[in-house]
Amino acid sequence: MNRRAFSVGLVKWCVVLTFSSPALSADDLMSVAHVQDARQTHVIDTRDVEACEGASLPGARCLPTNNFVDGSGNHIGFHALRWLLGTVGLSGAEHVLIIGNTREETRTVGALLYQAGQMQVSMLNTPFIATENAPGGETRSMSREVIFTAPMRGNIDLNQ
């Protein structure tokens, strides 16, 4: 799936939400220029599995952007999304850093996690390049490791 279609699809997907969202806090959803700028407890690497497993950040979980799309090319629903987040050990109470190939990918996945109810989300606004001898990321589980229980949020505007 091309990246533009992924982002455009997200916008269409968000429109169906009809409930209002609480005020967006700069501390809850933020863009960071450097990995060191984020106070993360969990790292989600949205690059392809091979790149993530090859070299990522310590403790990173591999969750490529194609995991957020179903077989027909549509975005997965919130039930499936919340299940997916549980497969990488997220309950919704953590601070998560999203890294990936492009700023667009990290912002899209960050917005999805934030809407799903993730407590705090930082999104790397530059392409992630692993350092030499960096540890490999861990692929997601096929079943939930924890139950994602955070209350969902409504639509958000990443341009706030």
Query: Could you read off the pLDDT of 17-60 as tens digits, one per residue?
Result: 323 344 445 568 899 988 886 666 799 999 999 999 999 999 99
pLDDT for 144: 95
CA angle, 124 then 157 then 37, to 5° = 25
Phi and psi for 50 in degrees, rounded to 5? -60, -45
Residue 145 pLDDT level (bands cut at 50, 70, 90): very high
Select the CATH number that applies to the domain covering 3-139 from these four: 3.40.50.2300, 3.30.2350.10, 3.40.190.10, 3.40.250.10: 3.40.250.10
Q: Are 31 and 107 in contact (CB under 8 A)?
A: yes
- For residues 112 and 88, the answer to whether their CB atoms sit within 8 Å is no
**Confidence at residue 75, expressed as pLDDT on a 0 to 100 scale:** 84
DSSP classification of residue 75: B
The pLDDT of residue 4 is 56
Q: What percentage of the chain reaches a pLDDT higher than 70?
A: 77
- In this prediction, residue 1 carries a pLDDT of 54
Residue 148: per-residue pLDDT: 97
- 56-72 residue pLDDT tens: 999 999 999 999 999 99
Domain boundaries, the chain: 3-139
